[in-house]
Structure 1
């Protein structure tokens, strides 16, 4: 068993600053030894703050270095696949932020490359590590809510979040707009909660406030499952409202579960009763999810185990988002094989 895993992080943007770097810095059996970003000011600041010894303006130098075992990729989306492929070529394990690649075919290429290199590929689906989401998942698996027939979820951001000069608004860099940046979080949970079911059809609508926009800023997606149940996802980053709205509601024949905040209701004597269990306070769920994700990645490398969120999950999510874009272009439902 590997004693300590030496990790390098590519990208010094917001998600690296608030999540990945702090989480890997404090993870057990881990040494955060390298960081790469072309913005040398951010690179030096983050490196000095967390005591990271090796700093690179060129990510290729980090990947090719001999003093690390694993790479965490949190760069713009269009760089995910080429960076991961290069990491496998140099014998590194990879944790890649979602989406795994710009499309399902490229995501599948990463899964194949990881297998060929005998390296671990884990996709960053941090919502699945949230304690509240894990509790709801356990109730679904134990059939406490009965047969799940409908899920509705959304992430609606105020227009103040929109920054048109961001890479997320550039088609070439991001691959898409709110579907690949916001809906993907909701889709990851829906697919996990319904992992015993198969998505057979996707229908979607997208909207741009201006034709000058390169990517969609609002979208609605309908997922249909093989046994007749369904799920809806609505996302936007141009909402004219006083606050952001994030929700995920799961409805079953015997009860319902809601996230943000967690609420569980069950039928008792024909009436809905709030049976929400008390969660042990573990801090900010967002930060905790990244701490648990980092710890899991390290454990999987040390023990040679398959990750909880393998690359194959990233491929499935990419198939759904590919179908959503195809549906919006063709203005019809898209069937999945």
Structure 2
């Protein structure tokens, strides 16, 4: 399919689809945007009018059964990802799904199995993009021995302020839509795996301080997804890891990631995505400049099309890594519920 035109259909056209995926595909030669199915005919027609997509379907079933597209871009919330990926592959269509991969590890495994059963089709997950600029440099420093032996990884991420019981319900608060996904845990764990590999065990404590939130219709919903988590993990590559994510800590320290080794330390300032490092010989951490040719960037749509055309494999993100981060996020909840250490893989 190197020279053939590739026709894309969109199921769910929310913020990221409009901001990233549609413009990204429009820039690629030989790619045609042919169809869309959104939450309603009206919202689908708005996308059609805004971006010049000719065919609007009443639902995703009609879109998948049509013969006007070769590949599907899924932009829904996680609760539909598994169903849509399985049905896309069953209809012999390549598939790019929004993150997070699924609701839970079981769904993720089923999606991976389906992708392996269709080796002629490309299956890809939208990657965690926030660290792309730094990833190659961190990988190189670790692989070239800058840190020495890895000892510990620490992540501190605070997304909010003090407890706000009046804040509105977001779909990420709804377990029926999000499953085991918690705040930005999966996003950051995916990035961590690029540097230090996956975890082999997890112990976690979680708390939900805001137990009820109102939707846009003033209806109250009981919340079970945590707004504060503390995690200890053993990584397969040797070091331990400590992760704290919270939306309820006021005046919390700045968001950062620390990677400690026997010979040096790396620190990522998360708000600016700036990398610092210091060895035994240094009195303090110093900024590490990232060469332009090492700075990764958003190229999700390009990678997807290139994989379909046989130009490059999917790396950001393949279904194997999606399974790993879904197992980790589920292990966090399992550990919190049971008070036990959970071994990985599940």
Q: Name the TM-score class by shorter chain.
A: 0.7 to 0.9
TM-score (norm 2): 0.83
- Matched with 1:144 is 146
| Residues 1:298 and 2:302 aligned together | no
Cα contact 1:5–1:302 (8 A) shared by 2: no
- SS at 2:7's partner residue? strand
- Matched with 1:262 is 274
Cα contact 1:77–1:102 (8 A) shared by 2: yes
| Residues 1:316 and 2:324 aligned together | yes
- SS at 2:34's partner residue? strand
Cα contact 2:165–2:210 (8 A) shared by 1: no
CA distance in 2, matches of 1:121, 1:133: 22
- Matched with 1:171 is 175
Post-superposition shift, 1:48? 2.4
- Matched with 1:251 is 260
**For residues 194 and 171 of structure 1, do their structure 2 counterparts lie closer, same or farther at Cα, with a shift above 3 Å needed?**
same
**For residues 54 and 140 of structure 1, do their structure 2 counterparts lie closer, same or farther at Cα, with a shift above 3 Å needed?**
farther
CA distance in 2, matches of 1:162, 1:120: 43
Q: How many residues align?
A: 327
1:109-188 to structure 2, matched below 5 A, reads 109-118=110-119, 119-127=121-129, 130-158=132-160, 164-176=168-180, 179=182, 181-188=183-190
- The partner residue of 2:244 within 234, 239, 245 is 234
Cα contact 2:85–2:97 (8 A) shared by 1: yes
**For residues 55 and 241 of structure 1, do their structure 2 counterparts lie closer, same or farther at Cα, with a shift above 3 Å needed?**
farther
Post-superposition shift, 1:63? 1.9
C-alpha root-mean-square deviation of aligned residues, in Å? 2.9
Cα contact 2:135–2:194 (8 A) shared by 1: no
Instruction: Report which stretch shifted further, 41-50 or 9-18.
Output: 41-50
> By percentage of residues, which structure has more helix?
1
- Matched with 2:216 is none
**For residues 268 and 92 of structure 1, do their structure 2 counterparts lie closer, same or farther at Cα, with a shift above 3 Å needed?**
same
Post-superposition shift, 1:328? 0.4
CA distance in 1, matches of 2:50, 2:140: 38
Cα contact 1:33–1:68 (8 A) shared by 2: yes
CA distance in 2, matches of 1:28, 1:87: 23
- SS at 2:340's partner residue? coil
- SS at 1:126's partner residue? coil
**For residues 135 and 246 of structure 1, do their structure 2 counterparts lie closer, same or farther at Cα, with a shift above 3 Å needed?**
same
Cα contact 2:128–2:191 (8 A) shared by 1: no
Structure 2 residue runs of 5 or longer lacking an equivalent are: 212-221
Instruction: Report which stretch shifted further, 300-309 or 266-275.
Output: 266-275
Structure 1 residue runs of 5 or longer lacking an equivalent are: none
Per-residue CA shift, 1:59-108, capped at 9, x if unaligned? Answer: 22222221211112121111000010000110011112222222212211
CA distance in 2, matches of 1:75, 1:245: 31
| Residues 1:209 and 2:209 aligned together | yes
**For residues 6 and 161 of structure 1, do their structure 2 counterparts lie closer, same or farther at Cα, with a shift above 3 Å needed?**
farther
Per-residue CA shift, 1:104-126, capped at 9, x if unaligned? Answer: 12211111111212322212223
**For residues 257 and 7 of structure 1, do their structure 2 counterparts lie closer, same or farther at Cα, with a shift above 3 Å needed?**
farther
- Matched with 2:286 is 274
TM-score (norm 1): 0.85
- SS at 1:108's partner residue? helix
| Residues 1:69 and 2:73 aligned together | no
